[in-house]
Amino acid sequence: MQGHAEEFRSPGSAGNAAVGVLLSHGFTGSPTSMRPFAEHLAAEGYGVAVPRLPGHGTSWREMNRTGWPDWYAVLDDELARLRREHDQVFVAGLSMGGCLALRLAEQHGTDISGLVLINPSVMTDDRRLAVLPVLSRIVPSFPGISNDIKKPGVDEGAYDRMPLRALQSLSQLWKLTKADLAKVTQPVLMFRSTVDHVVEPSSGRTVLASISSRDVTEILLEDSYHVATLDNDAPRIFAGSAAFIRRLSGVRQVGADA
């Protein structure tokens, strides 16, 4: 495992431990992309977990030996643990992590109190992926899509190659999740970068048009690219998400007056 791939967990404190938050990084990424977000929520006193998805944080070749059921299973297990330890659980995800968060919401209903989605991916407009089922058997990888970050000098710790067998599995996750979006009824807070070189705007628009949630807020990020949790708008994401969780959970901010 690479050094940047270290998982993060905090049990919660200061009366806010009744709330747990599960965070998921994206495709070919690592917990690094979610760590500052997780640390902010932990400082609020919430229980927080950022697991490392199988095949991530090691090598793209190893990732090619994993698929979406492996990634989902880790989050599903982590969600079950958080549900045992906390009264309410929220799920947040970046990119593919947003897709996995939506899939969890589709499968678990009211066990999840709300979703925070950052540039979620549920589809692509790239027609080249139509040949992916065949291509992935012949070519192991393409150049990567890492570090789409406007802020200079930031490294998300993602692979510099795109593992095509894993990408083929991701496309299957997209199809399943997109087909069941109407099952999502939880409150949703979506952050979407106006300039994103990885996920097309159609992905976020499809989510908003297809879910059944009544409590939905979209916030556009004008100063960040795809990995917005490490970019210039990160403080807006962190503060907005904490406020969203406070509003829905009824749990006060750490240090707030009684």
pLDDT in tens, 175-219: 999 999 999 999 999 999 999 999 999 999 999 999 999 999 999
> Do 106 and 184 contact (CB within 8 A), yes or no?
yes
Residue pLDDT, tens place only, 231-254: 999 999 999 999 999 999 987 655
**191 is known to lie in a ligand binding site:** no
Residue 73 has a CB neighbour count (10 Å cut-off) of 12
Catalytic residue ranges: 95, 196, 226
Domain ranges of the chain: 8-249
226 contacts 146 by C-beta, under 8 angstroms: no
**3-state DSSP assignment of residue 100:** helix
pLDDT at position 179 is: 98
- The values of phi and psi at residue 156, to 5°, are -80, -10
Is 236 buried (19+), middle (13-18) or exposed (0-12) by CB count in 10 A?
A: middle
Query: Are 94 and 25 spatial neighbours (Cβ–Cβ below 8 Å)?
Result: yes
pLDDT on residue 1: 47
Give the per-residue pLDDT at 257: 44
Q: Which residues lie across from 141 on neighbouring strands?
A: 163
96 is in an annotated binding site: yes
Q: Which of 13, 6, 156, 152 is nearest to 94 (CA)?
A: 156
Residues 107 and 118: their CA atoms lie apart, in Å, by 20
- Give the 3-state secondary structure percentages of the chain, helix then strand then coil, rounded to 5: 45, 15, 40
The dotted CATH code for 8-249 is 3.40.50.1820
| Cα–Cα distance measured from residue 75 to residue 55, given in angstroms and rounded to the nearest whole number | 14
pLDDT-flagged residues of the chain (< 50): 1, 3, 256-258
